Structure 1
Amino acid sequence: MASETLKDLFIHSLSDVYSAEKQLTKALPKMARAATNANLKAIFESHLEETRGQILRIDQVVESCGIKLMRIKCAAMEGLVEESQELVDEIEKGAVLDAGLIGAAQKVEHYEIATYGTLAALAKKLGEKDAMKLLLETLEEEKAADLKLTKLADEEVTEEAAAA
């Protein structure tokens, strides 16, 4: 379906991020298993729970807007997940892989930050205040996850990787 109106674009973008979040619920446990740094494992496990909550929040957005999601697959997330799997396949377990996994996770977070920021702006323009609040809540979670990853990279993982 072609996006002809702002609402069409909103529905398409929301459907896309729903797919992205679903894909992430499958990727995060794999990333957690591949990580050797205990704090990185914990971040992945914690973000998995947040991601499940974000999916429920998308369901709330759908309900509050009275819309139906499209059945599409997010190609961007598919590529980002594939990149992280390539790291796991190509780099020996340890600090260097952990550093790579942080980078891969931050690519995901930045994609989600851009997506939820856009969705919140679209919801605002469409007069969907409840949806906008829900989307902004998710946006803040994604920003917080990105900051946690940056802090971990700065304080622990890159030092460990440099020493490896």
Structure 2
Amino acid sequence: MKTTSKLKNQITSADQARLDELFTDGLKDIYWAEKHLAKALVKMAKSATSEELKSAFEQHTAETEEHAARLEQIFEMLGKKAQAKKCAAMEGLIEEGEEIIESTDKGTMVRDCGLIMAAQKVEHYEISSYGTLRNIAVTLGHQDVADLLQQTLDQEGTTDKLLTELAESYVNEEAAAE
């Protein structure tokens, strides 16, 4: 839903301050998520069976580190210190990925199928987070920040599509045959 210019003119400085606080908290949340996800992706890459999935996790580890650096740049652009705030959602998603590793047999496509499932849950969380943050940045008049958030959002979408392609091209079928 587009905000009309009439409504924008009615937004008070107090409203703007509350939205800015929510936005900053969201940035801190996703910053924590990216920092912890980078570590989890290393473990997921080591646990993957197929070379293609290992490679996808390794590539996304590098991108995740780039996302954290981009968030640091955003904090700087906003004149704020880059701070992380514990993200309970990402903590739970990472734990779920660890449970999949522990509950599946090493060297199986069933494990890879589970790792893809866990990774896509993470991607969908990140996509929704970055999309919302981008929209708030636009509302607050931070188009330069919104553009950086869009770059990350695009990368997250690409990763999600790659994981789907791996699952559909062979991982799921091979897992079903084990």
Query: TM-score, normalized by length of structure 2?
Result: 0.88
Equivalent residue, structure 2, for 1:124: 138
1:12-27 mapped onto 2 (5 Å cutoff): 12-27=25-40
Q: Displacement of 1:131 after TM fit?
A: 0.5
Q: 1:149 aligned to 2:157? A: no
Would the alpha carbon gap of residues 102 and 50 (structure 1) be closer, same or farther in structure 2, given more than 3 Å must change? same
The secondary structure found in structure 2 opposite 1:5 is helix
Q: Which amino acid aligns with 1:125?
A: T
1:99-118 mapped onto 2 (5 Å cutoff): 99-118=113-132
Q: Which amino acid aligns with 1:150?
A: T
Would the alpha carbon gap of residues 105 and 66 (structure 1) be closer, same or farther in structure 2, given more than 3 Å must change? same
Equivalent residue, structure 2, for 1:163: 177
Q: Displacement of 1:68 after TM fit?
A: 2.9
What runs of 5+ residues in structure 1 fail to find an aligned partner?
Answer: none
Equivalent residue, structure 1, for 2:85: 72
Equivalent residue, structure 2, for 1:30: 43
Q: What CA distance in whole angstroms lies between the structure 1 residues aligned with 2:58 and 2:103?
A: 23
Do the aligned residues in 1 keep the contact of 2:72 with 2:82 (CA within 8 Å)? no
Q: Which amino acid aligns with 1:110?
A: H
Q: 1:91 aligned to 2:87? A: no
From 11, 14, 23, the equivalent of 1:10 is 23
Equivalent residue, structure 1, for 2:14: none
The secondary structure found in structure 1 opposite 2:85 is coil
Identical aligned residues as a percent: 50
The secondary structure found in structure 2 opposite 1:127 is coil
Q: 1:54 aligned to 2:67? A: yes
Q: Displacement of 1:162 after TM fit?
A: 1.1
Do the aligned residues in 2 keep the contact of 1:120 with 1:131 (CA within 8 Å)? yes
Q: How many residues align?
A: 161
Structure of greater Rg:
2
Offset from partner CA, 1:55-84 (integer Å, 9 cap, x none): 110011111111234442111010000000
Do the aligned residues in 1 keep the contact of 2:76 with 2:82 (CA within 8 Å)? no
Which consecutive aligned stretches of 4+ in structure 1 deviate over 4 angstroms post-superposition?
Answer: none
What runs of 5+ residues in structure 2 fail to find an aligned partner?
Answer: 1-16
Report which structure shows greater RCO (CA 8 Å, sep ≥6): 1
Q: What CA distance in whole angstroms lies between the structure 1 residues aligned with 2:73 and 2:162?
A: 27
Q: 1:41 aligned to 2:64? A: no
Q: Which amino acid aligns with 2:36?
A: Q
